[in-house]
Structure 1
Amino acid sequence: MKKTLLLANILLLGVSYSSLAQALKGRILDQTSSPVIGAYVIHNESEHHAHTNGSGYFVLQGVSIGDSIQVSHMGYETQNLKVEALDREFTIRMRETAIELGEVVFSQDLNPLNTLSRIDLRTNPVNTSQDILRKVPGLFIGQHAGGGKAEQIFLRGFDIDHGTDINITVDGMPVNMVSHAHGQGYSDLHFLIPETVERVDFDKGPYNADKGNFATAGYVNFQTKRGLDKSSVSVQGGSFNTVRTVGLFNLINEKKNNAYIAAEYLASDGPFEASQNFNRINLMGRYGLSLDDGSDISLIASYFTSKWDASGQIPIRAVESGQISRFGALDDTEGGYTSRTNLGLTHAKQINDRLFIKNNVYYSNYDFELFSNFTFFLEDSVNGDQIRQRENRAIFGAESQLTYSKLFSGGEYDLQFGVGLRNDDIRDNELAGTKNRDSVRFVTQRGDITESNYYTYLNLNVSFDKLRINPGVRVDYFNYLYQDELTPAYDPKSLNAAVVSPKLNFIYTASDNVQLFLKSGIGFHSNDTRLVLERPNNESILPRAFGADLGGSFKLMPRLILNSALWVLRLEQEFVYVGDAGIVEPSGRTSRRGVDLGLRWQANNWIYLDGDFTYSYARSIDDAEGENFIPLAPRITTTGGLSFEKDRLSGALRARYLQDRPANEDNSVIAEGYTILDLNANYRVNAFTFGFFIENLLNSEWREAQFDTESRIRLANGQLEPEPVSEIHFTPGTPFNFRGFVKFTF
């Protein structure tokens, strides 16, 4: 009888405890209602902890009413709170404070590189869309012509051209354009207003199951601010008749309701003798709503338009002979026009203690027209070789991602399942020969493309005391359809293809100050629909990339962090730029290996130093030794600088170095490297901020974009060259460029 009563009491106590100790669910936001991602939530009584996910949600098990929790994140004030209820979602708002590297703690749930990118964004603010890409360590960019064209990108031994081997998104909306009129993966990021960027999420290599097409060298996802704490208006002006105005207007900033609009206007003549006549307009609006059932809804709408004239790439011989200056032109009728309208809807909900769902739907309407002349009079000695590339496309996509989390004896796991689609409907994708932009001499290609990508992925994270194992797999299915408008009959061609991409990663957190990783995976980039349908039996339909990374992050001192990686990446197929046609075409297999090093040091409470070094060895596998260099593949790149933020004064001195690199397959032609210094500073006086930006502080002469191109030019005496010449053609880098600004916050 006594044993029975004792057992009953134990059971009652167990039931009583289980009714008291429950899961605490909540969301952590900043003062602008943007989610604080990766915040550390610790249960002070048991030291159990949790981290916030990509939407700022967390679930902390084993919490009772009256317990206390601590919430912390680098760059925010630490909060200690008492749990007063468990029957509703807990919302915590954090206030920003000065960056303190001593607060960085390595955890299995966090990517140290993304944490460091947040430091860089805070201490080195940007004011151009292209500068945002430079927040990825080791990533270099170069403008081809006119300021309105997408930048040329370099990363991990890749000349990625405009985006062939890097996956770029904004709030989950793709930036890369498949089967684009100018080149596969074309990524024009100029529709993004840099002042609206809250977070830069990135990783290098093909190791993430939720990242698909083009994620071979890596991926970058920009997340915009959910809301604004205050409104602001700024005006900039400076060299080359440059004017830029930006307005950020806070409409609503409440606990469950927030909205803002942003606008940007930019105009510039540029440093060229023939004015660029460049102008860009950006409009954006974002609305966020949190419902009582735990749902979070975000609606984003934006409009972008840009047009420009360009002086194009010029041959070295024309400059050295004195025929034109470095900022002159042989065909100043180049240029272009582009526009993009975006709509995006995101829904996220913590369904219960273990289940979280996120849905994303987007639509884009895009126009593009580009006039270029790479070879001048090589093909047509009378009219010249100017070409026009243009298209109009509509993009629709949707994705659902379900995450299931559970504790088990000795650890925890979360299983992520995603499914989605993307459809590109491209009309009048054209390559034509033109003269002075106003007359069409011939049409090489014109047609309608429909390309659909259906995908699913499974991602598992199993965390033990110090080790996290992350296997994953992704399946992509493509449908290609092309109707050639130059043929008399309606006879569309179609083809289907699929690719499977497995991943396996290990992250070992030895301590709060040491984290090691081994990553491996297979990724891919798709090829242009027209190329695929021309070669339906070729393995180049969805060429794969095989990669591995071995490295770690080390907190060597309280305010000194080092991250490093040894990596290797092999591709089944590469892309080569063909200047005489203004297109890209496939070649053979390639192999790359290299080293990445990054350093972040906080000298005191207001001075920060950073540096990133990359070495890459890139070769073609199928070509003979000495003839297997990959044109324009960077070998050594270095970026770094000093930033300061004290009271009302802040600023930075930045440097970037790109070593000489081969411009052709046998390394007989060299693309010259460069070192550029930039400087910025600003000072706050009440509601006003005054400051300046200086690009190319030392006024160095440098070549931004370079290609080994065969061309034929008309000489100063009006006669054509007797024979074509193959040599470096380049666009000159910006000379000393000063812009001052004033900003009013209200």
Structure 2
Amino acid sequence: MRIEYRPFSCPPRRTGGHAFHRVRPAAAPILACALGLLLPYTGAAAADGVRLGEITVKGEALDPSQGAFTVNVIEGDAIRDQHLQQPLRLIEQVPGVDLGAYRQGGVADVFTIRGFTGAGHGSDAGISLDGITLNQGESHADGYADTNIMIPLELQRLNVYKGPVSALYGNFARGGVLEFITRKGGEYQEADISFGAFDTFDAQAAAGGAFGPVATNFAVQAYDSEGWRDNSRYTKANAAGRLSYDLSERAEIALSLRGHAGQWEAPGYIPEDQFNDEDRRDQQSVNAEDDGGEKRFFAQRIDYNHLINEQMKLLVFAYGTQNDFTRFAKFGYDPGGQTERFYNRDVLAIGASLNGAHRLGEAPMNWVAGVEYYDEETDWKRWNTSNRVRTAQTQERMFTIDTLSLYGQADWEISPALRPMAGLRYDSFSGSYDNRDPGGTPFSRDMNDYDHISPKLGLRSRVAEGIELRGSVANGFGLPNGEAKYDPTLDVDAIEYWQYEIGATLTASPDFYVDAAYFILNSSDEILEDPVGSGNFRNVGETRRSGLEAEFRYFTPVEYLELSLITSLFDSEIESNPNAALVGKEVVGLPDNITTLSLDYNPASGWGGRLSWRQVGEYALTDDNSQSYEGYDLVNASLFYKARFERGRSLRWYLDLYNLTDEDYAEAVFFGSGTRNYAPAPPTHLTVGVALKY
């Protein structure tokens, strides 16, 4: 498998929203004027005979070859060759990114990116699917994003943005963005069916076709597993469809629908003494209460794509999502303590962008400019429970978040040696919080008004044939967490993030591919209690994250045989904190290194296989760095036989072996209740399956 490097990718749009009657007065005229400026262009003449391609909601004009940032790309064929059941596993093929699997059924996992360790389950990275943001502004955790709603077989590409580099993305993009893009158009029928250890069954199917001016894409998935540990069964079903219609040679409209249903049992976490006992590692902890949950998710999106002329395209969209999520969870090992968390979340979004390709002087310039409005409502309830039986309600709350965003970005190719990039994004936030907790006095609050301007600058240069250099500086931001955004006594600004990056790509030899990037990502104005224990919060904290991320690929003289090394080294330091004892300490959860070495033999037909070794280094578990996890080494292997037939048909039998050395390890470890706590990974196990193209 080869992961392509693309310095900048053309993403579909993201962000969401709900009810436009809550647009605050200052935002309404801005939104109306911005859309008004864009819509008159729809009457411009188009070039004769021009036919639109797929709808890309924003950023379509930005040429990946001209970007100055690090964006790693995994393409569709490489995705399908991995026969994934969980799409988030793709990030393990990207330098500097690591998955922390909680193994709690349908609970979203966490991952590390650019030195941030709370992405996916928290607020450290943006995640979008075909322009629909999956990050939740409230509910389970600020920024929480569940990728279980995706079908791996439907994916066409994953773009991984490193750091707050793109003007197309705002909130939650401090560490980067995972941009999942599904297949659009095309003629294909595919299926992937597998059986594995722990009574695991996964069936996926995807199809695309065209009928005159109509193009369709559909995908489904059914998954069920008893799981390795006690009380860990997980069942889910996904379905997705897209229908596009050519209104004319220069206008296209598309409707996309998606549905997900999941139900699970969760084994919870175990203390260190139980993790070290082979006979008890697969069991629940003492006093466990059979955690679990369920989720329903639905999404609808409509896109209008209008080619104004050969140099400009208008993109207009609207989408909505509806989400019900219930989780029963217990933390700690004393009797009692389980809670039920319920979130009902509704989002509605609308936006438009212009994508252009013009000349400034004699040099070509690609650009995008757009506006987005997002509204999110979250109905939040919690109960104390005992073995999933409610005993008392403790919380009943309603949150709304409204976001208005304006953005623009341009790449200018003055010459191969001089390709500057500039971007600017403005985000404005408002909302409300209604508290009706049982036993308390009801109250309502407006969100403190927050807005932020995020500049991005970069330069890419081809200094010689096969040698390209890049450098950039980019700004991002972070809002206060949870209810703090609505606290009228909290007088703070958004947290500031500045990333500085240099990188190089070497392709001078057809036998080698090398890409490396060094970054420094500084955070300032962190919102911390100052003095400690006072209850007063101020913008006082500072942290530095830095790292070297590199990818080496050697295409051996043996046809189809490739050796690859993906490695990263990280350092972090708390530079300012009201608690002087924490100054100089490392960021919790950040490994000192992440390395994957793999050997792939992937012929077009016949036998093939892959052998990989992955190492995740030591990382701190406590703020004072007194507790740490030593990391782990993992060896996986796969073997396949591929038969090819006429008209592109193929049949691929495969066998995947995991944890060949039977390592005792966990991908998620934390400290609490006086012990290290583990979500143990399974011992050696296998999956067998068949993938068909017909």
Give TM-score scaled by structure 1 length.
Answer: 0.78
Cα distance, 1:705–1:530 mapped onto 2, change above 3 Å: same
Corresponding residue of 2:678:
730
Cα distance, 1:689–1:193 mapped onto 2, change above 3 Å: same
3-state SS in 2 of match to 1:557: coil
Point out where structure 1 has 5 or more consecutive residues left out of the alignment: 1-35, 39-50, 56-84, 94-104, 378-382, 577-584, 711-725
Contact preservation (8 Å) 2:447, 2:487: no
What is the identity, as a one-letter code, of the residue corresponding to 2:351?
Answer: E
Corresponding residue of 2:205:
247
Contact preservation (8 Å) 1:184, 1:527: no
Aligned 1:307-706 pairs, distance under 5 A = 307-320=263-276, 324-330=280-286, 331-377=288-334, 384-427=336-379, 429-441=380-392, 443=394, 445-466=395-416, 467-486=418-437, 487-489=440-442, 491-534=444-487, 536-539=489-492, 542-572=494-524, 588-604=541-557, 605-623=559-577, 624=580, 628-649=585-606, 650-685=608-643, 686=645, 687-706=650-669
Q: CA deviation at 1:123?
A: 6.0
Q: CA deviation at 1:122?
A: 6.8
Cα distance, 1:109–1:668 mapped onto 2, change above 3 Å: closer
Aligned 1:24-423 pairs, distance under 5 A = 87-89=48-50, 107-108=65-66, 113-114=71-72, 120-121=78-79, 124=82, 126-161=84-119, 162-180=121-139, 182-250=140-208, 252-254=209-211, 256-272=213-229, 274-320=230-276, 324-330=280-286, 331-377=288-334, 384-423=336-375
What is the identity, as a one-letter code, of the residue corresponding to 2:261?
Answer: T
3-state SS in 1 of match to 2:149: coil
What is the identity, as a one-letter code, of the residue corresponding to 2:236?
Answer: R
Cα distance, 1:550–1:119 mapped onto 2, change above 3 Å: farther
Q: CA deviation at 1:415?
A: 3.3
Q: CA deviation at 1:149?
A: 0.8
Cα distance, 1:86–1:178 mapped onto 2, change above 3 Å: closer
What is the identity, as a one-letter code, of the residue corresponding to 1:736?
Answer: T
**Within the alignment, does 1:742 sit opposite 2:690 as a pair?**
yes
Separation in 1, partners of 2:384, 2:9 = 54
Separation in 2, partners of 1:184, 1:145 = 20
Q: CA deviation at 1:535?
A: 5.8
3-state SS in 1 of match to 2:663: coil
What is the identity, as a one-letter code, of the residue corresponding to 1:258?
Answer: A
Contact preservation (8 Å) 2:71, 2:162: no
Separation in 2, partners of 1:371, 1:516 = 50
Contact preservation (8 Å) 1:124, 1:652: no
Contact preservation (8 Å) 1:598, 1:613: yes
Q: CA deviation at 1:86?
A: 7.3
Listed one character per residue, the Cα deviations across residues 488-542 of structure 1 (whole Å, up to 9, x for unaligned) are 44534443211111111111122441111111111113334412123653325x3
Cα distance, 1:135–1:535 mapped onto 2, change above 3 Å: farther
Cα distance, 1:187–1:593 mapped onto 2, change above 3 Å: same
Separation in 1, partners of 2:253, 2:573 = 47
Cα distance, 1:621–1:431 mapped onto 2, change above 3 Å: farther
Q: CA deviation at 1:673?
A: 0.3
Separation in 1, partners of 2:526, 2:610 = 38
Cα distance, 1:249–1:209 mapped onto 2, change above 3 Å: closer
Q: Which moved more, 1:362-371 or 1:144-153?
A: 144-153
Contact preservation (8 Å) 2:47, 2:310: no
3-state SS in 1 of match to 2:89: helix
Q: CA deviation at 1:659?
A: 0.3
Listed one character per residue, the Cα deviations across residues 4-62 of structure 1 (whole Å, up to 9, x for unaligned) are xxxxxxxxxxxxxxxxxxxxxxxxxxxxxxxx999xxxxxxxxxxxx99769xxxxxxx
What is the identity, as a one-letter code, of the residue corresponding to 1:353?
Answer: E
Listed one character per residue, the Cα deviations across residues 58-101 of structure 1 (whole Å, up to 9, x for unaligned) are xxxxxxxxxxxxxxxxxxxxxxxxxxx973116899xxxxxxxx
3-state SS in 1 of match to 2:662: coil
Contact preservation (8 Å) 1:354, 1:405: yes
Cα distance, 1:503–1:288 mapped onto 2, change above 3 Å: same
Separation in 1, partners of 2:68, 2:214 = 29
Contact preservation (8 Å) 2:190, 2:205: yes
Q: Percent identity?
A: 21
Cα distance, 1:357–1:509 mapped onto 2, change above 3 Å: farther
Q: CA deviation at 1:365?
A: 0.3
Contact preservation (8 Å) 1:398, 1:422: yes
Contact preservation (8 Å) 2:256, 2:302: yes
Separation in 1, partners of 2:451, 2:107 = 32
Structure whose alpha-carbon radius of gyration is higher: 1
Cα distance, 1:514–1:460 mapped onto 2, change above 3 Å: same
Cα distance, 1:691–1:289 mapped onto 2, change above 3 Å: same
Separation in 2, partners of 1:629, 1:506 = 31
Q: CA deviation at 1:452?
A: 0.9
Contact preservation (8 Å) 2:80, 2:153: no
Contact preservation (8 Å) 2:72, 2:159: yes
Listed one character per residue, the Cα deviations across residues 172-191 of structure 1 (whole Å, up to 9, x for unaligned) are 110111112x2111010011
3-state SS in 2 of match to 1:146: coil
Corresponding residue of 1:20:
none
Separation in 2, partners of 1:108, 1:645 = 31
Contact preservation (8 Å) 2:235, 2:264: yes
Cα distance, 1:112–1:546 mapped onto 2, change above 3 Å: closer
Corresponding residue of 1:66:
none
Separation in 2, partners of 1:229, 1:332 = 49
Separation in 1, partners of 2:292, 2:115 = 29
Contact preservation (8 Å) 1:341, 1:365: yes
Q: CA deviation at 1:569?
A: 0.8
Q: CA deviation at 1:602?
A: 2.0
Listed one character per residue, the Cα deviations across residues 313-344 of structure 1 (whole Å, up to 9, x for unaligned) are 11113445789435443315111111210112
Contact preservation (8 Å) 1:672, 1:703: no
Cα distance, 1:354–1:601 mapped onto 2, change above 3 Å: same
Cα distance, 1:501–1:140 mapped onto 2, change above 3 Å: same
Listed one character per residue, the Cα deviations across residues 283-333 of structure 1 (whole Å, up to 9, x for unaligned) are 111112334232233321111011111111111134457894354433151
What is the identity, as a one-letter code, of the residue corresponding to 1:481?
Answer: S
Q: CA deviation at 1:117?
A: 5.6
Separation in 2, partners of 1:345, 1:399 = 11
Corresponding residue of 1:32:
none
Contact preservation (8 Å) 1:480, 1:529: no
Contact preservation (8 Å) 1:206, 1:523: yes
